Structure 1
């Protein structure tokens, strides 16, 4: 099953070390912010519309509901620390700064830190992991304080430094990102490998292969994910019937739309409208 919106707890932090080949089975998104610190190794990290080559010492910031997925990058060995937190988790501690903190997730998906900056971030992360695992008295308050400290550090880092966009690993990645942006803007149209290959002057076979290679998932998987995400928004915010919504997001056949919707979300469009969410698990 493809993951759609993963429902997670208000706050979680975990450290993972992998020595064997691993790639997320599917793209996913969730109703929380994500901070991903690569402590050792490297990964390819797709976020919203492009893939980043994330290396040791890089900090990844994923906005709420942005599609993302990690895949192997040249070596299976890597260690990473992952934080997820809901928007209201820090409100009482942020003292009016929360909106500024949330903005950093919209502008800078990947920050490349120097040695000194890595040390500062790792110090905060170590304390977080200890508190989260030991759960000694007052740990919940301290976790909120540590998260605010981390967000404030990131915010100040961005304010005082000229942040340069992370370069594409190569021209192929840049070309595929251009195609992804086109899909994000034209998902409601009739899109096929053949039509995209003509649009971008690439053979269908080559496009299929490089799209999977660069992003970590197939063209059809990604297109369906984008369309279903938009359908979910319409189900929540409008009174349009399912047939009309299917047409608006690019499906000519309502029955096919219903099947794809259930595959991705775990529920039917009507049940989703009634309940507001599907049943999914996190795979990171």
Structure 2
């Protein structure tokens, strides 16, 4: 699986761990069939316990190939695996053990992997609330034509500044991001419906066939027809 965050792409493989810090805009995409364990932790859970820290950021990428002998990393993975087992098996009172494992995971993370804020990114995070509103708008209206000018106006920013800010926060131009949202819906419909690929493509607003073919293969590693098999 790939994770894009702040203009950098990470390729996640078996037993890797990735932390998405609170407020970070990111994009994930799977290259083929993958199984991912995702744990969503409310940021308030951390700040209520660690009240003296106004803004906490953690290391993002943990490579299993590099850290497989590190006892701290192994302990974090153990807690994650324990939480997964408890959540799936659900023995009586499993919530108590789940919370215990979660707290141990956060304790290890906080005491070993807190990092300083990126000053450049920190300067533009003031625009995050409006950008998140824009991303929600894109998700609801991706099949329609959304111009760069309209997007910049939506967040009340100069178009040129909006382009730079969006690229820094997501790693993509705005138009690339909209097309990736379209691709994700197209990918799902190719697998879940018997509709023609052309009909699916048109339904989700991807009108440029050349760009569609190129981006689909770059994103999913095959052509739409090969995906359907």
Q: For the superposition of Structure 1 and Structure 2, which TM-score range results when normalised by the shorter chain?
A: 0.5 to 0.7
Contact 2:191/2:228 (8 A) holds in 1: yes
Asked whether 1:156 is paired with 2:90, we answer no
Cα 1:109–1:199 shift into 2, 3 Å = same
The answer for the alignment partner of 1:112 in structure 2 is 46
How does 1:90-169 map onto structure 2 within 5 Å? 105=39, 108=41, 112=46, 114=49, 125-127=73-75, 148=85, 155-156=98-99
Find the aligned partners of 1:150 and 1:125 in 2 and give their Cα distance: 21
Aligned to 1:26: 9
1:190 maps to 145
Q: Deviations over 1:199-224 (max 9, x none)?
A: 33322211111112223332123222
The TM-score normalised by the length of structure 1 is 0.47
Match for residue 67 of structure 1? 27
Query: C-alpha deviations, 1:226-272, integer Å up to 9, x for none?
Result: 11111110001111111111111211233432222112222111011
Gaps of 5+ in 1: 6-21, 38-44, 53-65, 70-84, 88-101, 116-121, 132-141, 161-168, 275-284
Give 1:192 deviation, angstroms: 2.1
Counterpart residue number, 2:225: 270
What is the alpha-carbon distance in structure 1 between the residues aligned to residue 195 and residue 204 of structure 2?
A: 12
**1:155-179: CA deviation from partner (whole Å, max 9, x where unpaired):** 426999xxxxxxxx64312121111
Structure 1 residues 229 and 197: alpha-carbon distance in aligned structure 2, compared to 1, 3 A threshold: same
Provide the rounded CA distance (Å) in 1 between the counterparts of 2:169 and 2:154: 19
* Per-residue deviation, residues 56-88 of structure 1 (Å, max 9, x unmatched): xxxxxxxxxx9349xxxxxxxxxxxxxxx947x
Tell whether the 8 Å contact from 1:262 to 1:268 is kept in structure 2 after alignment.
yes
In the alignment of these two chains, the number of paired residues is 178
1:113-148 superposed Cα distances (whole Å, 9 cap, x missing partner): 757xxxxxx98843467x9xxxxxxxxxx9955864
Q: Distance in 1 between matches of 2:174 and 2:133?
A: 13
| 8 Å Cα contact 1:234/1:245 also seen in 2 | yes
**Structure 2 gap segments, 5+ residues each:** 51-69, 89-94, 104-121
Distance in 1, matches of 2:10 and 2:85, equals: 28
Counterpart of 1:202 in structure 2 is 157
Secondary structure at the aligned position of 1:67 is classed as strand
SS in 2 for 1:176: helix
Q: CA deviation at 1:109?
A: 6.2
Secondary structure of the residue aligned to 2:9 is: coil
Matched residue SS, 2:195: coil
Task: Please report how far the alpha carbon of residue 190 of structure 1 lies from its aligned counterpart in structure 2 after TM superposition.
Answer: 0.6
Over the aligned positions, Cα root-mean-square deviation in angstroms equals 4.7
